[in-house]
Amino acid sequence: MVTKSKPIMVTGGAGFIGYQICEILAASNQQVVIFDLRPTKEMENIRAHRGDITNLYDLINCVKEYDVEGIISAAAILPPQDIVNPYKTFQVNVGGLANVLEITRIFDLKRLIFISTAGVYGKTYDLKPISENTPMHLEIYYERTKMMGEQLCKTYIEKYNLDVGIVRFPFVVIAASTIAHLSQRLPSLVMRPYLVMPPLLWVEGTIPA
């Protein structure tokens, strides 16, 4: 008899990237709980829980109800809405992540993955590869909140020895007749260590120089 692993909670799981991650995990027979203010319909291996990431007790209730073993933090307010209500953006993007980190610490969860953005590097005007050592040029509020989130993660890693991964998703790529978002492919790459799968990355819709 095959025993299924405990569920992984995905905050912001009804959003674009969050739902892509949920589908990939569910397709690999991983139990998933979507934690969102507007959860989608449930399907095989995917449960939905309505909750507010800025409310610590909503997160506690979800972790307890589903016996969650790990969290993927994808909830965020994106541009251009980030500057419409900057206080709300801070509450969600930074305060919400602080809640998730605290839940991970309190319940001693197995792993947390924080979805950040490659936007923290700012605009680039050459074709040089970007590495983790590339200088950062934060330009918009959303990027600044993501960098604050990364610093929070690093603090919890150093002080509480949490298993936290930070993923910086890349940008939109527009081809001649199609709009392809590399972030549609990156969730599968990010989740492969969770699923014990070999690394794999492919890009579609390349643009000739």
Question: Which CATH number do you get for residue 123?
Answer: 3.40.50.720
| Residue 1 belongs to some domain of the structure | no
| Residue 180 belongs to some domain of the structure | yes
- Mean pLDDT highest for which of 45-59, 172-186, 193-207? 45-59
| Residue 157 belongs to some domain of the structure | yes
- What is the extent of the structural domain holding 190? 8-195
Return all residues near 14 (Cβ < 8 A) that are at least 6 apart.
34, 36, 37, 38, 39, 40, 48
- Res. 42: pLDDT tops 50: yes
What pLDDT score was predicted for residue 86?
96
Structural domains of the chain, count? 1
- Mean pLDDT highest for which of 17-21, 113-117, 177-181? 113-117
Q: Is the pTM of this model over 0.85?
A: no
In the three-class reduction of DSSP (H, G, I as helix; E, B as strand; rest coil), residue 181 is classed as: strand
Q: Are 23 and 10 in contact (CB under 8 A)?
A: no
Q: Using the structure block, give the residue that is written with the tokens 């073993």.
A: 69
| pLDDT tens digits, 74-88 | 999 999 999 999 999
Residue 40 identity: T
| Residue 204 belongs to some domain of the structure | no
- Res. 63: pLDDT tops 90: yes
Q: Using the structure block, give the residue that is written with the tokens 């590097």.
A: 121
- More confident position, 117 or 189: 117
Task: Single out the residue of 102, 183, 167 nearest to residue 132, CA to CA.
Answer: 167
What pLDDT score was predicted for residue 4?
67
- Res. 209: pLDDT tops 80: no
| Residue 207 belongs to some domain of the structure | no
Q: What average pLDDT does the segment 105-125 reach? A: 90
Q: Are 20 and 184 in contact (CB under 8 A)?
A: yes
Residues present in the chain in total: 209
Q: Are 170 and 182 in contact (CB under 8 A)?
A: yes
Residue 94 identity: V
What does the alpha-carbon distance between residue 181 and residue 177 come to, in Å, rounded to a whole number? 13
- Res. 181: pLDDT tops 80: no
Average pLDDT over the chain, rounded to an integer: 83
What pLDDT score was predicted for residue 118?
87
DSSP 123: -
- More confident position, 134 or 89: 89
What pLDDT score was predicted for residue 183?
46
| Residue 205 belongs to some domain of the structure | no
Q: Using the structure block, give the residue that is written with the tokens 């949920």.
A: 22
| Residue 203 belongs to some domain of the structure | no
| Residue 42 belongs to some domain of the structure | yes
Among 45-49, 62-66, 107-111, 192-196, the least confident range = 192-196
Q: Which residues are annotated as catalytic? A: 142
In which band, very low, low, confident or very high, does the pLDDT at 178 lie, cut at 50, 70 and 90? very low
